[in-house]
Amino acid sequence: VVHAADETGQPAMMASSDANRDATENAGGLTCSEEGKRAEGASTLTARTASQESGCESVLEAVSEPTVASRTLAAARVSAWRVKALPTRRPPAAPKTASEFTKQYVLLRKTPEAFFDFLQLVPTERCAVLVAPEPEVLRAIGVAMQTCASKEKALWCLQFLDEMSKAPRFEMTALTLDAATSRQLLHVFDVLKDLGMTCADAEAQAISDLLPRVRAKYL
């Protein structure tokens, strides 16, 4: 086979090989260019995704911050209310309404000494208006009187219970007292009877006359 020579005197086959090599190099260059574009596109997509994630985190932070602040403020308000509402060593003021009595009852009912001091602030002639004769209230009063009554306070305790028995619905409450409340009131009358026997003659006589009548209203 005879190959024709080109103008430079090189064989045509060599020229053809050079052309093929150039085409391959050009193809390789195109491939590298495409890979570069793909890499650039991937970098752009990664940066965009990171930016979106960062934006989402910012939004979440912006939403969560007020929520945390609101909870902190609410907790501070609750703490302030507790400090204001809970009893202190200073005696509470005399109740002017039934709701004021109930509020102090809720706060003091588990502390017989404090509750007994509070009961003495209630005007005896207004017991029927201020004190709701509910079984749990009667039981708390009974515990306070049994724990703290003295011979100096025995007559006052009977007078308090006597006036409270004039409250509306008292008779219905007395008829439906549970066993625990009845036992507690029974203990109270026994304690007052014993205290009355240690009082001076006039006061002891007053207790002796009043106690049976008051006891009959409750038991």
Q: Above 80 in pLDDT, residue 17? A: no
Using CA atoms, how far apart are residues 153 and 198, in angstroms rounded to an integer?
A: 12
- Which pLDDT score, from 0 to 100, does residue 13 have? 43
Alpha carbon distance 143, 200 (integer Å): 25
Cα 192 from Cα 109, distance rounded (Å)? 21
- Which of 15-19, 26-30, 35-39, 212-216 has the highest mean predicted lDDT (pLDDT)? 212-216
pTM equals 0.60
Residue carrying the six token digits 């619905």? 169
The Cα 188–Cα 108 span in angstroms is 19
* Tens of pLDDT, residues 20-73: 444 444 444 444 445 555 545 545 545 454 445 455 444 444 444 446 676 677
Burial status of residue 198 (CB atoms within 10 A of its CB: 0-12, 13-18, 19 or more): exposed
Q: pLDDT: is 158 or 14 the higher one?
A: 158
